[in-house]
Amino acid sequence: MKRAEYEKIRYQAKDLTAKANIAVRDEEWESYEVADYGLGDFYSVGLGIIVYVNTDRVCTKELVLFPNQHSPEHRHPPIGGGDGKEETFRCRYGTCYLFVEGDPTETVSCQPPDLCGPWCTVWHQITLNPGDQYTLMPNVLHWFQAGPEGCVVSEFSTHSDDGSDVFTNPNIRRIPVIEG
């Protein structure tokens, strides 16, 4: 991803967090992460992340998704003798469609983009609107997608090691590469 595109995305993310009435300090924006998953189509498959704190025990983040943007199916496996990451999603703005293991939902509210569709294997839909939350236990397959207005989701979790996430799609590169 080019630096100019990264900066444009960060500016657009500021607009969404403002709509969610979330105050983000300038230094937090400096560490804003644009995860394009290495697939080359950020607005279809991507995620913006603001990390407030990530200690050995706890982590707090804002997840910013643009309209209909998809975050690919993955799980948080046990690492270093621990259980893996437990995380709670709390929707702050827009609608977040979260898909988890369980009985498939008969009629789902969204479809993943073609880049990820073949690698979406869990179809139990949890719809999160502002104020709704859901807790994912460690090592549970999940994926999520924003509604047509985009969404901002606060994540509260145990320690986060995003580089250890296991994606169903073998083409995913979790850590972004920003060029010039």
The pLDDT of 120-146, averaged and rounded, is 98
Per the CB < 8 A criterion, the answer to whether 75 and 139 are in contact is yes
Q: Answer whether residue 180 shows pLDDT above 70.
A: no
Residue 180 lies in a domain: no
Of the pLDDT bands very low, low, confident and very high (cuts 50, 70, 90), residue 7 is confident
Question: Token digits for 58?
Answer: 């706890």
Q: Decide if 144 is inside a domain.
A: yes
The CA distances from residue 120 to 53, 87, 145, in Å, are 30, 20, 12
pTM: 0.94
Averaged pLDDT for residues 34-41:
90
Among the listed residues 34, 14, 33, the one whose alpha carbon sits nearest the alpha carbon of residue 25: 14
Rounded to whole angstroms, the Cα distance separating 108 from 106 reads 6
Tokens of 1: 């991803």
* Residue 176: inside a domain: no
pLDDT at position 121 is 97
What are residue 97's DSSP bridge partners?
Answer: 127, 145
Residue 125, domain member (yes or no): yes
pLDDT confidence tier of residue 30, bands split at 50, 70 and 90:
confident
Per-residue pLDDT of 59-109, as tens digits, reads 999 999 999 999 999 999 998 888 899 999 999 999 999 999 999 999 999
Return the CATH number at 109: 2.60.120.10
Percentage of the chain exceeding pLDDT 70: 97
Question: Between residues 123 and 34, which one has the greater pLDDT?
Answer: 123
* Rounded Cα gap, residues 178 and 33, in angstroms: 10
Element spanning 19, H or E: helix 3-19
Report how many domains make up the chain. 1
Q: Which domain holds residue 92?
A: 3-167
Half-sphere exposure of 88 (CA within 13 A, CB side): 8
Beta strand spans in 101-158 (E): 124-128, 133-136, 142-158
In a domain, 178, yes or no: no
In a domain, 159, yes or no: yes
Kindly state whether residue 142 falls inside one of the protein's structural domains. yes
Task: Determine the Cα–Cα distance for residues 48 and 142; give it in Å rounded to an integer.
Answer: 17
Per-residue confidence (pLDDT) for residue 175, from 0 to 100: 66
* Long-range CB contacts (within 8 A, 24+) of 116-121: 116/39, 116/45, 116/70, 116/72, 116/73, 116/143, 116/169, 118/169, 119/72, 119/73, 119/167, 119/168, 119/169, 120/73, 120/168, 121/73, 121/168
Backbone angles phi, psi at 6, to 5 degrees: -55, -45
- Asked if residue 175 belongs to a domain, the reply is no
